Amino acid sequence: MNLSVQIAPVNPRGLMLKNPVMTASGTFGYGTEDSHLFDIQKLGAIVCKGTTLEPRDGNPQPRIAETPSGMLNSIGLENIGIAALIKDKAPVWAGWQVPVIVNIAGETVEEYARVADQLDGVDGISGIEVNISCPNIKAGGAEFGVSPGTAARVTEAVRKATSLPVLVKLTPNAPDIAEVARAVAGAGADALTLINTLMGMAIDIHKRRPVLGNVTGGLSGPAIKPVALYIVYEAAGAVDIPVIGCGGITTATDTLEFIMAGASAVQVGTAGFSNPRVPLDVLEGIERYMQKEGIENLTDLIGTARN
């Protein structure tokens, strides 16, 4: 069986994954933390925590809250900054089989471009995922992702700054996802990732205060899966570049739904907090399905629910 998939077909460097199962940014650290729990080299790709030009402390605590079938987070892009990532993490990744994609964020278009520029040519980095969808920071993030014009400007700036494959991660909080998807594809993105978290909040009725220190946060986990699936379906119908599905994926069945909706690959996020092995379980479940159904190439399943 062949589970491989090309997620940057128009980029001269390409980004071939040996299977479609990736980890979602912010839920798997730098890949180094969980490498003792299962063989992470078996995954299709790892996407690391969102990284900015300077290190960030993130938002005030509490920063996470459990919700029915999901969680709220307002981490606020706490990260080590691009220089430490290049110095301490990339050399480790350079010895790995599994490709690592660096998720980046910024407060200005220029900041995104500067981070992308620094990553170009660094050993151990196979691609960039541009987060224009973080709901938890005051400047930048989702602010860029809700409008087709600003989404395209960030994409164009990053595209100019690097020859690495560029994935652009979109927000479900945009009024017209298809329009943003088309604008980002037109600006030179190699692939789209959908979705980041949905805006949400929780209130502690005893304190009569919001639960999260940041008041609002991003909702993730199984609760958002039907929304994510619908958005992937919409986006895949709007663009020709590969779409990577993300949002509430917990099982192989969830993954196959995304692939049949038009996703070329998927990312597993929140599910890994309750069982870090979920990405591998998902991969093994896809293999079992393909074997049972007599499917040779995973790519034959992409978009089959669309016809």
Q: Where are the alpha helices (DSSP H) in the chain?
A: 82-84, 90-94, 109-119, 142-145, 148-161, 177-186, 225-238, 252-261, 271-274, 278-293
Catalytic annotation present for 246: no
Q: Which is nearer to ligand FMN, 26 or 262 (CB)?
A: 26
Q: Which is nearer to ligand FMN, 17 or 224 (CB)?
A: 224
DSSP letter string over 129-192?
A: EEE---TT-SSSTHHHHSSHHHHHHHHHHHHHH--S-EEEEPPTTSS-HHHHHHHHHHTT-SEE
Which of 11, 52, 131, 214 is in the footprint of ligand FMN by CB under 6 A? 131
Q: Which is nearer to ligand FMN, 155 or 197 (CB)?
A: 197
Residue 200: CB minimum distance to ligand FMN, A: 12
- Taking the C-alpha atoms of residue 132 and residue 154, their distance in angstroms, rounded to an integer, is 8
Which of 15, 17, 75, 161 is in the footprint of ligand FMN by CB under 6 A? 75
- Taking the C-alpha atoms of residue 77 and residue 164, their distance in angstroms, rounded to an integer, is 23
Is residue 269 involved in binding ligand FMN (CB under 6 A)? Answer: yes
- Taking the C-alpha atoms of residue 131 and residue 147, their distance in angstroms, rounded to an integer, is 14
- Taking the C-alpha atoms of residue 232 and residue 6, their distance in angstroms, rounded to an integer, is 18
Residue 51 DSSP one-character state: B
Is residue 113 involved in binding ligand FMN (CB under 6 A)? Answer: no
Is residue 77 involved in binding ligand FMN (CB under 6 A)? Answer: yes
Measured from each CB, the residue nearest to ligand FMN is 26
Scanning 7-15, 22-30, 108-116, 180-188 for contacts with ligand FMN by CB under 6 A, the matching segment is: 22-30
Q: Which is nearer to ligand FMN, 3 or 75 (CB)?
A: 75
Is residue 255 involved in binding ligand FMN (CB under 6 A)? Answer: no
**Residue 191 identity (one-letter amino acid):** A
- Residues of the shown chain interacting with ligand FMN in the complex, contacts defined by CB under 6 A: 24-27, 49-50, 73, 75, 77, 103, 131, 134, 169, 196-197, 220-221, 224, 246-249, 268-271
Catalytic residues, by residue number, are 134
